[in-house]
Structure 1
Amino acid sequence: MPNYLSPGVYVEEVSSGVKPIAGVGTAVGAFIGLAERGVIGKAILVTNWSQYVSEFGGFIPNAYLAYAVYNFFAEGGTSCYVVRAASSDVKNAVKVVTDTEGDNLLEISARSEGDWGNRLSFTIEEPSNGQPAGFKLTIKYTELSSFNDEYVGEEVEGEIVEIFDNLLIFNCEDKINDVSSFIKIRPLVDLTILENRDKKPQLTTEFVNLEEGKNGISSVEYLDPINQKIGIHAFDIIDEINILAAPDVADLAGSRNIILEMLNYCRLRKDCFFVADAPHGLTPQEVKNFKEGVSERFAGNAFNSSYGALYYPWVYINDPLTGKKKLIPPSGSIVGTYAYVDSSRGVHKAPAGTTDGYLDTVVGVEKIITKGEQELLNPIGINVIRSLPEGICIWGARTLSSDSEWRYINIRRLMMYIEESVDKGSQWVVFEPNEPSLWGKVKRNLSAFLTRVWRDGALYGSTPEEAFFVKVDEENNPPAVRDAGQLVIEVGVAPVKPAEFVIIKVSQKTLAK
């Protein structure tokens, strides 16, 4: 208590000791795959397509990451983290510059690995200030003009130029490496020797290309989750992600093992859900075999996890580069739909149906799936993308779990939302005196949060008492538990399940005479 010594009015700020529980976000995507450029093995926050292009480049041949992120935003996603993966043979494009005497003087390299750097070129000219040892470096980046493996060498619309003037060999690193969007520069001579500091690079009359950049797509190790540098563990330090996809995995020879690892990663995190793609070109029976791991082609452990879902078949989109139809894995559009439904309806709503499962970015499906074929796939947790009269829609909302309690995607994700929200919103309880007044505060706090969840339509019941319970009292916190320094809180909820099968019974009514 404050010590008041003179008459007057005193105002005190008093804390209730209870911190209201705020619901965590559920609509943050996470993508890992092949990118044109950018740092490898680091999760980068991306909030729009332009930012993705700035960080990772554009669309590249035989890779689907860019398309997935593009469709994520087009379907209503607002933010995601992206990890660029690569195999061990990934390499920066480089070029060594000689001095006026023909000795190696500078190395110019692309800022990040990949064959995008082979489209970088440079000229070295006299500086504008006329300094004898000075030089001007002009960097030109020619964007890929068409979606193929050929690069355009002549000047076309889409070139980007950087100019660094009045450089000297001993200060060019400071003036370029933290400024340029495209290159890094490294002197190849000992600058502690004074005569080397006056060396000047050989001038060029035409643009010279950097060479030998490689994308690193030769093996599946670029997505190996065991590799702590370039695998999915790059997401370990990112707490916000909720929905994970790896669109480049689907057609790899070892895709099943990678999917199993990613499902396990999400299970161990407990706050993330994996959206998996089946390989393209499969029949309904083959995708069933892929899920169950029973055929010679897809032999292995079956997918059985409530922390992931499998979608089939692949979909066609209008290629933003060529304007033609392109076949891609559906996961980017699916994750965007998850995010949109989370924000518009809530995480408790199944991301499926003719309204909430309608895919705006899709113009066709690889294979038309009939109702009979879906009857083979739906019970084992393969979510089919159907072409219906209403449009192309997600027509399934099941996890990969064999446990009926965790059959539906929205129930698993709702429980993830509640568990993480309660966890983060209850940290204030740690080290508080473990006695009845604390129990009352905890119960009121959790009940207030769950009442909001119930009012949002996420819990079943006409009253809060029917929808959930919170128990924290002497019965589940006896002296032995309190002596161990533990506070046990029991929470039970009744999640709303989707109306997967709508049955309308029609009969004739006989009129009484």
Structure 2
Amino acid sequence: MTFVPKSPGVYFQEIPSGARTIVGASTSIAAFVGGFARGPLNIPIRMFTQADFETGLGGLNSDYPTSFAVSQFFLNGGGQAYGVRVSPDATAAIVVMDDATNNATLRATAGRQVGGVSLDDPGEWGDNIRIDVDAITPDPTTQFNLTVAEIRDVDGVEVARRTEVYRNLTLTAGPRNALDVVNEASAIIQLSRDPGWAGNGLPVPTGYYSGPVTLADLAGITPANDIDVDLGAGAETVSVPFTAPPTTLAEAAAGLQSGLRAAFPADRLWAQLTVTVVGDRLRIVPGRASPDYDPGTVISIADSVSDLAQRLGLDGALDRANVEQYAPINTPAAFQSVATAGGDGAANGAADLRGDRSTRTGFYALDDVRSFNMLAIPEASELGSVANLAAVMSAAATYCTEKRAMLFIDPPEDTDTIEEAETWLGEVADAGLRMPNLVTYYPLVHLPDPGSENRPRPFAPSGTMAGVWARTDRQVGVWKAPAGITARLSNVVALDHVMTDQENGVINPLGMNALRNFDIPGNVSWGARTLVGADLLASDWKYVPVRRMALFIESSLYDGLQWAVFQPNDAPLWNEMRSAVTSFMQGLFRQGAFQGSSPRDAYIVKCDSETTTQSDINAGIVNLFVGFAPLRPAEFVVVSIQLQIRQDG
């Protein structure tokens, strides 16, 4: 727009340079679809580290082979991945807490928020959820504290894997509303209430609460006191010695705690019991470090020997003897009205892994991801037949072509010999899976399984190779073949089949990539062909780096030329597009991404009246032609040696 000054002076006008920058697209974002120990179903979980994997999808689990693929991706150099958990019938753990009138008031479901939406997090992991409620708040009539823990067993002792504490919560509208506060922050549970519930009170605190205790009650306590404690197998008399009547509730709590602990030295549940002061009451909670721990136990204290229980308000007439902790594995009792254990569900079938695009399930859940470059579905190879494998991979291959991504296809676990690998590859070809965006590696890799004392087990190689690809991209570039003595396989204890050069010479011309073991470099990737890389096919996309380089350029230009849409379709636009793409290709040339000693030999960019005719202009089309001379891997290095004989004299 022309600037028209209104008065004398000095004016500045910032003029755009007209230069457009195209940034190279990412090449090493991996996606994994399959079963995991935890995580919301059919939702892509973004991960950058093993810690993210542990938090988001439960980490390594012996029951889920896809979890080993994700772990191998990070161990071999991968930096960003998405995991999509699928399961036909997994269920989430649920706990319903009641108010003091035994009406349901608050439901806790294993889950978390993803993108601001509360989602169930199904699986048996939810059975490890423990919830404590207490009323140690400024206003116990309207506020409560919630402690949520995910526990694990260590040598028969339950310890907290992670703990979340939420204080001064309410069930009314406001900044401390329990549903709003917990649901936004928790990685363990999501809270809800049913509209028809009659319970409007707060959830009853866990543990055993005394009645109100006054200083007059404390003054009446004699030095020698007994109390009856019922652990579910009959009442037992416990001596609680006081040398003098306690003068404060804290002294009464300390004396009662000491006496109860000393009475049960062999039971870790009671030997770690705690007695705390809550307002004018005493709260008794048994210890949790016991192999016999039952969070649903209701403590019962009676008074049949002395007046101690009555003095401390601990006699059986109290109205708030609750479960030790709310937990999905409880039998509904006291003030917990519902306890539903979580379930992992059955094994995934072809339909579960494939999913449906209309509902964004299976690998179609990746529609919610902006971009990914590699897809692995390790469980597809264990579906029992190539027909079942094709039911997943045929649709996945089409999907990856659309997304400009590569797809790993793994051989089944019983592929033990070169002959079996040949047979399987032939069946894959017959199923129509020889496509340029597909790649396969043989044999399987043996990885240590923490669930079996780190004894090695065979696993699909796709996760390991996805990590090797990402590492190679970072160290050199997408144009470098992810193979050779530098393409080492980390954390791979052994290969399922130790291949000879002759055996390698059988599968390589068929488009199957070998994983080899050599004395010094160890286990390495020793092939870089796509599934159309068989010699007889003579495909332009024979090699993995060539195909990936093309996809990289396509993705980069797709993202980098969005600005051109709806611009006037004439020479100025063509010049600007040509300049931007040339600058991008020249940058790749300087990095050594192409063949040729000069830009003219390495690439060509054309966008003018020859590529875009008047008919194209009338149709709203602008045509850009980009060509490049790819670097092909030196698959065969031939050294010729000639013996020269020197004759003296």
Q: Relative to structure 2, which stretch is displaced further, 19-28 or 411-420?
A: 19-28
What is the TM-score when the length of structure 1 is the normalising length? 0.88
Note the C-alpha offset of 1:134: 6.5
Unaligned runs of 5+ in 2: 112-120, 205-319, 329-339
Shift of 1:81: 1.8
Aligned counterparts of 2:203 and 2:621: Cα–Cα separation in 1 = 71
Q: Deviations over 1:165-191 (max 9, x none)?
A: 555666543453333321233345735
Residue 492 of structure 1: how far off its partner (Å): 1.4
Q: 1:250 to 1:203 in 2, by over 3 A?
A: farther
Q: Deviations over 1:78-127 (max 9, x none)?
A: 1122222221x110012344555555554332111111111223345555
* Match of residue 13 from structure 1: 14
Between 1:380-389 and 1:94-103, the stretch displaced more is 94-103
The separation in 2 between residues aligned to 1:187 and 1:442, in whole angstroms, is: 57
CA distance in 2, matches of 1:440, 1:168: 64
1:116 aligns with 2:125: yes
Q: How does 1:249-264 map to 2 (within 5 A)?
A: 249-253=380-384, 254-264=388-398
Task: Find the aligned partners of 1:160 and 1:431 in 2 and give their Cα distance.
Answer: 52
Moved more, 98-107 or 116-125: 98-107
Bigger CA radius of gyration: 2
Mapped partners of 2:615, 2:162: distance in 1: 70
Give the distance between the partners of 1:504 and 1:245, measured in 2 at CA. Answer: 38
Aligned mates of 1:365, 1:462 — CA distance in 2? 41
Change (3 A) 1:442 1:94: closer
Which whole-Å CA distance do the structure 2 matches of 1:141 and 1:12 have between them?
61
Q: Name the CA distance, whole Å, in 1 between partners of 2:538 and 2:553.
A: 20
For residues 439 and 213 of structure 1, do their structure 2 counterparts lie closer, same or farther at Cα, with a shift above 3 Å needed?
same
Match of 2:444 in 1: 314
The yes-or-no answer on 1:245 pairing with 2:246 is no
- CA deviation vs aligned residue, 1:11-43 (integer Å, no higher than 9, x gap): 322223331222111121212222221221111
Would you say 1:340 and 2:471 are equivalent positions? yes
Secondary structure of the structure 2 residue equivalent to 1:334: helix
Q: 1:382 to 1:97 in 2, by over 3 A?
A: same
Identity, % of aligned positions: 29
SS of corresponding position for 2:408: strand
Q: Does 1:288 align with 2:419?
A: no
Residues 458-510 of structure 1 show CA distances to partners (whole Å, capped at 9, x for unaligned) of: 21111111111122233233322222222222221110100111111223335
Moved more, 429-438 or 458-467: 429-438
Separation in 2, partners of 1:268, 1:190: 48
Q: Name stretches of at least 5 consecutive residues in structure 1 with no aligned partner.
A: 146-151
Q: Give 2:435's match in structure 1, choosing from 299, 302, 305.
A: 305
Q: Could you tell me how far apart the structure 2 residues matched to 1:395 and 1:135 are?
A: 62
Q: Which amino acid is 1:280 matched to?
A: E
CA distance in 2, matches of 1:262, 1:144: 39
Letter in 2 for 1:480: S
Distance 1:463 1:352 in 2: 27
Mapping of 1:57-456 within 5 angstroms?
A: 57-87=58-88, 89-99=89-99, 104-111=104-111, 112-124=121-133, 127=136, 131=140, 137-143=146-152, 154-164=156-166, 172-188=178-194, 190=196, 196-198=199-201, 201=204, 203-210=321-328, 211-220=340-349, 221-226=351-356, 228-253=359-384, 254-269=388-403, 271-282=404-415, 283-293=417-427, 301-319=431-449, 322-355=453-486, 357-389=487-519, 390-401=521-532, 402=537, 404-456=539-591
- SS of equivalent to 1:82: strand
**SS across alignment from 1:405:** coil
Which residue in 1 is equivalent to 2:236? none
Per-residue CA deviation, residues 298-352 of structure 1 (Å, 9 max, x unaligned), is x961421111211121112334564443432222221111111111100000111
Q: 1:169–1:187: 8 Å Cα contact kept in structure 2?
A: no
Q: 3-state DSSP class of the match of 2:185?
A: coil
- Change in Cα spacing, 1:11 to 1:251, as seen in structure 2 (3 Å) is same
Identify the residue that residue 148 of structure 1 maps to in structure 2: none
Q: Deviations over 1:440-469 (max 9, x none)?
A: 333232222212212211211111111111
**TM-score with structure 2 length normalisation?**
0.70
Q: Retained in 2: the 8 A contact 1:291–1:302?
A: no
Corresponding letter in the other structure for 1:233: Y
Q: How many residues align?
A: 496
User: How far apart in 1 are the matches of 2:531 and 2:193?
Assistant: 55
What is the match of residue 287 of structure 2? none
What is the identity, as a one-letter code, of the residue corresponding to 1:206? E
1:357-379 per-residue CA deviation (whole Å, 9 max, x = no partner) reads: 21122221111122222222111
One-letter amino acid of the structure 2 residue matched with residue 414 of structure 1: M
Structure 1 distance, partners of 2:379, 2:95, is: 31
Checking the alignment, whether the CA contact within 8 Å between 2:144 and 2:202 is kept in structure 1 is no
Letter of the 2:377 partner, please give it.
Answer: A
> Cα deviations across residues 114-154 of structure 1 (Å, max 9, x unaligned)?
11111223345555557368665443322365xxxxxx8x5
Change (3 A) 1:179 1:428: closer
Q: Check whether the contact 2:50–2:59 (CA below 8 A) recurs between aligned residues.
A: no
Q: 1:135 to 1:441 in 2, by over 3 A?
A: closer
The answer (yes or no) to whether the contact 1:32–1:232 under 8 Å persists in 2 is yes
Q: Indicate conservation of the 8 Å contact 1:123/1:203, yes or no.
A: no
CA distance in 2 between partners of 1:255 and 1:61 (Å): 22
Query: Residues of 2 paired with 1:157 and 1:314: CA distance?
Result: 37
Secondary structure at the residue paired with 2:157? Answer: coil
Q: 1:124 to 1:300 in 2, by over 3 A?
A: farther
- Per-residue CA deviation, residues 183-229 of structure 1 (Å, 9 max, x unaligned), is 233345735x6xx3237546534345314311233341331233533
Task: Report the 3-state secondary structure (helix = DSSP H, G, I; strand = E; otherwise coil) of the residue aligned with 2:409.
Answer: strand
Is the contact made by 1:123 and 1:204 (CA closer than 8 Å) also made in structure 2?
A: no
Task: Give the distance between the partners of 2:489 and 2:418, measured in 1 at CA.
Answer: 21
RMSD over aligned Cα atoms: 2.8
Contact 1:225 1:261 in 2 (8 A): no
CA deviations over 1:353-406 (Å, ceiling 9, x no partner)? 111x21122221111122222222111211111111221001110111245211
Distance verdict in 2 for CA 1:509–1:486, change over 3 Å? same
Per-residue CA distance 1:204-259 (angstroms, 9 max, x = gap)? 34345314311233341331233533311111132231111123333223334212
Query: CA 1:442–1:7 in structure 2 vs 1: closer, same or farther (change >3 Å)?
Result: same
Give the 3 Å change call, closer, same or farther, for CA 494–203 of structure 1 in structure 2: farther
How far is 1:2 from its partner?
1.2
| Partner of residue 4, structure 2 | 3
For 1:387 and 1:481, locate their aligned partners in 2 and report how far apart those are by CA, in whole Å: 55
